[in-house]
Amino acid sequence: MKIKTSSGRVFDFVNFLFMIVFAVIVLLPFWYIIVLAVNEGIDTARGGVYFWPRAFTWDNFRAVFSDLSILNYFKNSVLRVAILTPLHLLVTAMAGWAISRKKLPGRKFFVSMFMVAFFVNPGLIPFYLTLVQYGLINNFLVYVLPWLFHCWGMMVYLVACRSIPESLVESAYLDGANDLLIFFKITIPLTTATLATLGLFNAVWAWGDWFTGTFYIRSHSRWTIATYLQMVLQRGASTQVRSAAEATAAAHSAAHRITITEVSLRAATLLVTIIPIACLYPFLQRHFIHGVLIGSIKE
């Protein structure tokens, strides 16, 4: 607009302020956890620590990384994502590519099969008893096998496949390439943006999924970090704190002052869990926005 009205300027300013406040509200809980994680736990318990650390320390992180059981939960989480996400992408993308080919025999049958499974929810109990039947309860494979395919992801991938020029595929056929080769040499390189989005969503989900560990895994040694955080939330973790504090103290000199409390240990654990995601998603932002648009229309 050429002529700036004063009311327009006032609106701009209020809007700017509102957005600042909004951003602060979104970030504040994360900032609070950061502050708690780098503040001495004993000091935090005295109160008054919220916007800035008062007694700075790395001890809480030392405790997280020297506690063998917490490390093991992290290891299980990383292992799960590292195994599940690539396989999930492969299974989902292969199915999406196959469905996108009109010449696929029984195409309509497969589509309706996936759709029925998408909309009919058998419910928790039949699913649980099926896992019991397969011997997947308390088995690490329960973190991977049931989650290898999802119809929503396939639909998103299907849309990406449709944007591949048919002439490219045709010429590959003429050169004698089979469907598998075309998938790996043409489809995958041309759909990396969609694959990155689906991979991000799957990895984020698997990283934060506590349910599988809590209800389908019995032995603590196979828990993921998300399951541990759920247990801490519901039962507290006093023994954990003691063992972590002792481990840190033992790692340092015997005279080392123990400053860790349940609150500070949990804050540090939360932060270590959040950081991988917080570092990852801004780089994939451009791609997932596109993915969301497809998903929300098709869903």
Partner 1 sequence: MAPVARIKMRKRKAMAGWPSPVVKRIIENRWLLLMILPAVIIQLAFAYVPMAGMSLAFRNISELTLPLGTKWVGFANFHFVTDPYFWETVRNTIVIAGVKLIFIFPAPIVLALLLNEIKNQYFKKFVQTVSYLPHFISWVIIVNILDRMLNINTGLVNEILSFFGKSPIHFRGEVGWFLPIVVLSQLWKEIGFSSIIYLAAITQINPELYEAAKVDGAGRLMQARHVTFPGIYPIISMLLILAIPNLINAGFDQIYLLSNPMNLHVSEILDTYILRTGLSYGNFAKAAAIGICNSIVALILVIIANKGSGKIGGSTIW
Residues 81 to 100 in contact with partner 1, rule: CB under 8 A:
90-92, 94-95, 97-99
Q: Provide the minimum distance between the beta carbon of 198 and partner 1 in the complex, in angstroms, as a whole number.
A: 14
- The site map against partner 1 for 253-282 (x = CB under 8 A) is ----------x--xx--x--xx--xx--xx
Q: Provide the minimum distance between the beta carbon of 257 and partner 1 in the complex, in angstroms, as a whole number.
A: 20
Residues 58-77 that bind partner 1 (CB under 8 A): none
The site that binds partner 1 (CB under 8 A) totals a number of residues, namely: 100
Residues 213-252 that bind partner 1 (CB under 8 A): 215, 226, 229-230, 232-234
Q: Answer yes or no whether residue 113 interacts with partner 1 by CB under 8 A.
A: yes
Q: Answer yes or no whether residue 208 interacts with partner 1 by CB under 8 A.
A: yes
Judged by CB under 8 A, which of 68, 108, 123, 253 binds partner 1? 123
- Select the span of 68-76, 131-139, 163-171, 190-198 touching partner 1 (CB under 8 A): 131-139
- Select the span of 27-35, 78-86, 191-199, 250-258 touching partner 1 (CB under 8 A): 27-35
CA dihedral 150, 271, 211, 194 (to 10 degrees): 0
Q: Answer yes or no whether residue 299 interacts with partner 1 by CB under 8 A.
A: yes
* Cβ atoms within 10 Å, residue 219: 7
Nearer to partner 1, 66 or 273 (CB): 273
Q: Answer yes or no whether residue 114 interacts with partner 1 by CB under 8 A.
A: yes
Residues 140-199 that bind partner 1 (CB under 8 A): 145-146, 148-149, 154, 178-180, 183
Q: Provide the minimum distance between the beta carbon of 82 and partner 1 in the complex, in angstroms, as a whole number.
A: 18
Judged by CB under 8 A, which of 13, 17, 22, 185 binds partner 1? 22
Farthest-apart Cα atoms in the chain, separation: 76
